[in-house]
Amino acid sequence: MKEFRFSIEKKIPNSLGRAGVISTPHGDIKTPAFVPVGTKATVKGMTSEMLTDLGAQVVLANTYHLYLQPGDELIRDAGGLHAFMNWHKPMLTDSGGFQVFSLGVAYGKGISKVLHPADPSVQIPERSSADDGVPRLATIGNDGVSFRSHINGSLHYITPEKSIEIQHNLGADIIFAFDECTSPTEDRRYQEEALHRTHSWAQRSLNYHKSKPNSQKQALLGVIQGGRDEELRKLSAKTISEMRTPDGEEFDGFGIGGSFDKEDLHSSVRWVNEILPEEKPRHLLGIGEPEDLFEGVENGVDLFDCVAPTRNARTTGSLYTKDGRMNILNAQYRSDFNPIEPDCGCYLCKNFTRAYLAHLFRSKEMLGSTLASIHNLYFIANLVATMREKILEGTFPEYKAQFLARYQK
């Protein structure tokens, strides 16, 4: 019998938000929940025990990167990702669709999937940038994507069926249909073309997955696209939610992917979740800033993943606190013998001072990145866990207002 199911425990009045439980073969996920990203079968600089101690319930790994190195068949032979990386709780793998974006139209341009209108470095073109002549590592066709490895330049071709086959070998509890994540700078014409491809690839992913024995132990989520366009977003939500195999089987849940404008991210999520069936879980791909997590939860998102907490920690020394971001490289922290946050229960704050962490970063010691990552993941994981508690208590709106008033001051 299949071991995947989703149940709703309590809803936020007058909103789409809810607290629930996703059951998988490797345990339950209490939702809403934040999913740390372990791109190459590791959350950088951290062990599985560290992740468990800071409150992580589930981890996401990257299909594209693991396909190239060490190879999905090797991981299959090792017993799957759970055994390979010693993580025995629930796990997700993405489809590789985001790499279609990052290795294609966004390659070398510094464009992210969330557009910040105030950023002067990003110029929105008057036409699609799909044929601008800039070299890229991925080329999109209607049947799939050809790309050159960023490791050694070797040529590869990924179809929806190939993406699902790789994810079957990796063995995560929750996997995603192959999709095309478009740039937020693309025009309406290209967004329509990409959406048609995503829907075609979704149907092929669903048909292939449901025809294999792995469908009895791995849940497949269909991915909603449509860029920043309300009509396309709603069309995608309706199309993916109504999609069936010839035998009438459907997606086990949904991923909300693609590109957003920072200012309309929350509206885009609401457009989609007002249409998607309530009884299935929803995962917002690649979003993890505190203010966005609150809006996502309120608008019906159950899972979030994002590299920001660990990337910001290890690359810039940027730490989350209830009073906003802290940059540990600022001169004032060199002789500050307080913890990052006095009431924080993470390993860093219970054992070390701001001065010590500042020393580690200034002297480029590896431990600094690990400790900062522990703090940021603890902060975000427990922030979302507290949102869940407040939903169950019936005080989510008050908690949201209090937290953001302090965090954004």
Could you tell me which of 215, 214, 213, 239 has the C-alpha nearest to residue 225?
Answer: 239
> What are the φ and ψ backbone dihedral angles of 220, each rounded to 5 degrees?
-110, 125
- What is the amino acid identity at position 383? L
How is residue 61 annotated by DSSP?
E
Catalytic choice (72, 94, 252, 292): 94
Q: 307 with 363: CB under 8 angstroms?
A: no
Q: Which residue has the tokens 């885009």?
A: 268
Q: What is the largest CA-CA distance in the chain?
A: 66
Asked if omega into 125 is within 30° of 0 (cis), the reply is: no
Q: Would you call 147 helix, strand, or coil by DSSP?
A: strand
Could you tell me which of 397, 112, 121, 120 has the C-alpha nearest to residue 262?
Answer: 112
325-340: burial string, b at 16+ Cβ within 10 Å, e else: ebebeeeebeebeebb
30-45: burial string, b at 16+ Cβ within 10 Å, e else: bbbbbbbbbbebebbb
- What is the amino acid identity at position 155? L
Active site residue 305: yes
Active site residue 252: no
Q: How far apart are the first and last CA of the chain?
A: 51
Q: 277 with 238: CB under 8 angstroms?
A: no
Catalytic choice (28, 292, 305, 336): 305
C-alpha–C-alpha distance, residues 58 and 179, integer Å: 22
Q: 257 with 224: CB under 8 angstroms?
A: yes
- Cβ atoms within 10 Å, residue 403: 18
Q: 134 with 118: CB under 8 angstroms?
A: no
C-alpha–C-alpha distance, residues 168 and 214, integer Å: 6
The full DSSP string for 317-369 is -EEEETTEEEETTSGGGTT--S-SSTT--SHHHHH--HHHHHHHHHTT-HHHH
Active site residues: 94, 305
